[in-house]
């Protein structure tokens, strides 16, 4: 196997694991704040990976991406919610849907700050092997979380963007759009196999490097 692919996998999977856990934790926590305790009662308001990791979406799908050069994206177990419990159905569903990407945005900012710290330390100690590896992990953390933001905002069921779009559409279009929901996973696999997500990956890379560039200016 190509050493670059091995390095990509080794650096990306710990970051993906954290990103998935934070993403689903945020869904569950915001749902609880909106009045729905379904996820809370099922033990999903936690950062414990065992509660969130999905073998296909969290391992197989990203692995295929790593091996094919596609964006390193995926998903965890969907957070169970009961929108009827939200104090305001439409507002609650939108907020819960966007909570996951908000968590990934927070991680992207955190990894950018860690990248800045690593650069500042390197100025004093020099680029030691440990520091270089750690910084590569931080850079990967920014890239992976920005990619997950773009991916989850795609209007393809069951991704978060589909819930937001559903509420923004007129009633007749929303009803027609809802008919696509059972076929969302099939659509995602087709998009991946056709490499149709690569332009999104390039855009996510550009935004990630914008984050990193701002961090370097600060440092």
Q: Which positions are annotated as active-site residues?
A: 24
Q: What is the DSSP string of 106-136?
A: HHHHHHHHHHHHHHHHHHHH---HHHHHHHH
Residue among 75, 80, 77, 78 nearest 40 (CA)? 80
Find all residues with CB under 8 Å of 134, minimum gap 6, and list them: 118
Radius of gyration of the chain from its Cα atoms, rounded to whole angstroms: 18
- Give whole-number Cα distances, 125 to 76, 160, 190, in Å: 39, 43, 48
Residue 104 contacts residue 152 (beta carbons within 8 Å) = yes
Positive or negative, the CA dihedral 199, 107, 74, 37 is negative
């Amino acid at each position: 196997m190509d050493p670059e692919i091995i390095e990509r996998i080794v650096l990306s999977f710990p970051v993906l694991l954290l990103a998935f856990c934070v993403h689903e934790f945020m869904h569950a926590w915001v749902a609880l704040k909106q009045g729905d305790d379904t996820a809370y009662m099922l033990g999903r308001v936690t950062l414990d990976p065992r509660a969130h990791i999905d073998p296909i979406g969290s391992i197989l799908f990203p692995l295929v991406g790593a091996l094919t050069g596609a964006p390193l994206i995926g998903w965890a177990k969907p957070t169970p919610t009961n929108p009827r419990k939200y104090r305001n159905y439409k507002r609650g569903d939108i907020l819960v849907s966007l909570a996951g990407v908000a968590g990934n945005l927070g991680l992207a900012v955190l990894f950018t700050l860690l990248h800045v710290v690593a650069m500042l330390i390197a100025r004093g100690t020099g680029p030691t092997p440990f520091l270089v590896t750690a910084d590569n992990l931080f850079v990967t953390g920014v890239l992976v979380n920005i990619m997950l933001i773009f991916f989850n905002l795609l209007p393809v069921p069951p991704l978060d963007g589909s819930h937001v779009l559903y509420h923004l559409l007129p009633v007749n279009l929303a009803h027609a759009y809802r008919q696509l929901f059972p076929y969302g996973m099939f659509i995602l696999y087709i998009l991946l196999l056709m490499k149709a997500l690569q332009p999104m990956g390039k855009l996510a890379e550009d935004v990630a490097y914008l984050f990193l560039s701002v961090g370097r200016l600060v440092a």
